[in-house]
């Protein structure tokens, strides 16, 4: 499927999407959510998984995972439950470990082992997410999914952005 302007989507023989991305404010962004660890969802409007910030894909990200309120004191909680907390800083791990998805810095990010993005992609930094605040958005519906569109970026992207933005604002 080819969309107007700069986005091109294609698939490999095993139907795992290959993401071309789109450049906004000088930063290349994926136009799809992350599905299972290391893979994108098949369609631009598809929901991704529910990864906890910095946590490796261990099953907690699945919509059918169980939940627990017991925080982890290690980088690997040893179970696949989604860890819930109502206390600031709202992290699944105590103490926090901000190097689990970015082994570098805000200005020189380095993809870390727990980053769920496919090869060649990484979770954006706070500074990169802030660059989206200047983008003009329009409310749209794509195949029954409501969200924002801009420069041919579909609704799924802004929904993902809102989750990251909320997390970072809470720090």
Which pLDDT band holds residue 160 (cuts at 50, 70, 90)? very low
Total-model pTM = 0.70
Give me the pLDDT at residue 23, please.
80
Say whether pLDDT at 47 is over 60. yes
- Report whether 30 contacts 51 (CB < 8 A): no
Mean pLDDT of 129-151: 70
Give me the pLDDT at residue 84, please.
94
CA distance readout (Å), 5 to 13, 23, 103, 170? 25, 11, 34, 36
SS3 category, 130: helix
Q: Which of residues 65 and 10 earns the better pLDDT score?
A: 65
CA distance readout (Å), 85 to 69, 152, 159, 160? 6, 36, 22, 20
């Amino acid at each position: 499927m080819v969309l107007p302007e700069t986005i091109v989507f294609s698939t490999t023989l095993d139907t795992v999407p290959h993401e071309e991305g789109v450049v906004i404010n000088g930063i290349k962004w994926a136009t799809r959510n992350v599905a299972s660890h290391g893979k994108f969802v098949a369609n631009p409007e598809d929901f991704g998984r529910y990864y906890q910030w910095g946590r490796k894909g261990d099953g907690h990200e699945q919509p059918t995972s169980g939940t627990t309120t017991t925080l982890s004191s290690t980088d690997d909680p040893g179970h696949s439950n989604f860890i819930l907390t109502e206390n600031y800083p709202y992290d699944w791990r105590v103490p926090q470990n901000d190097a689990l998805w970015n082994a570098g810095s805000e200005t020189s990010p380095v993809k870390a082992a727990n980053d769920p993005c496919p090869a060649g992609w990484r979770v954006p930094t706070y500074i990169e997410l802030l660059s989206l605040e200047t983008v003009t958005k329009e409310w749209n519906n794509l195949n029954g999914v409501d969200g924002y569109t801009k420069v041919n970026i579909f609704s799924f992207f802004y929904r993902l952005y809102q989750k990251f933005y909320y997390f970072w604002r809470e720090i």
